[in-house]
Structure 1
Amino acid sequence: MYTGLQHLHSGLAYLVLAALAIIFGYVLFKYFNDKAFTERVRKVSLVGLIITHLQLLVGLVLYIISPKGISNFSGEAMGDAMSRLYMLEHPLTMIIAIILITVGYSKAKNGTNDISRYKSILIFYGLGIFLMLLRIPWSVWP
């Protein structure tokens, strides 16, 4: 089960990053071409929100059952860069990134004008993508 969840989490990460990049590009294109913020744009950004939350759920389950996760939490593990990455830096940064994406979607959904709605998605999704790219364990990522 643990190995299957690891593969699911890694495979889903590719999907999340690709979808967020496509969504970001789509919204950027609409913003620069002065298009109206339509229901379609909202639904496209909702897809990004849903898959990031799905990835969060898989990651939290993996964090709980993994020997590199919460069971490894100790002062000794903080001295090792890879242990610290798995038990603290990666989960915390990803949660912050997903919170930013959630805030961006909420602000865009409840926004009053098209420009502010587009800017909310571009800023918050952009920051979320940046944080995700910053703390993916690239050295061991398949």
Structure 2
Amino acid sequence: MQCSCSSSVGHLTAPYWSRTVLFPDWAYKPAWSPGSRQVQLWHFLLELLGRGEGGAIGWGGEWGEFVIRDPERLARLWGERKGKPHMNYDKLSRALRYYYNKRILHKTKGKRFTYKFNFSKLILVNYPGYPLPPGHQVIIFTSHTTT
């Protein structure tokens, strides 16, 4: 698999990143999402990408970017996983948009059914204490109140 990673990402090695695909090793942990007994949609997508579910979803051109190749099939798979037989792409895409505000992922402009993960945010929020990949910084803002 050829990598078209941007130069800003830098050289990433294990244990941070899998050698076969472009996402963190921690994403391989099946059906586990911190703080929840149910799998989260972002984690389900990473599982499918890791298994090479090429018919419904696949990695895109940029680092962290993925393309939904068959929206209805993806929605059906998600519905099966969640036990919701009436799941469709409209409902699934609403769940994806929920992640925009959390900055877990965003829509890639000008590309239909294409999204991009913010892996630094996923690591920070869902895996506190997990080391960030080299070259990534975290800026924490705190508010100070005076009485």
Higher relative contact order (CA 8 A, sep 6+): 1
Higher normalized strand content (fraction of residues): 2
Higher normalized helix content (fraction of residues): 1
TM-score, normalised on structure 2? Answer: 0.25
TM-score, normalised on structure 1? Answer: 0.26
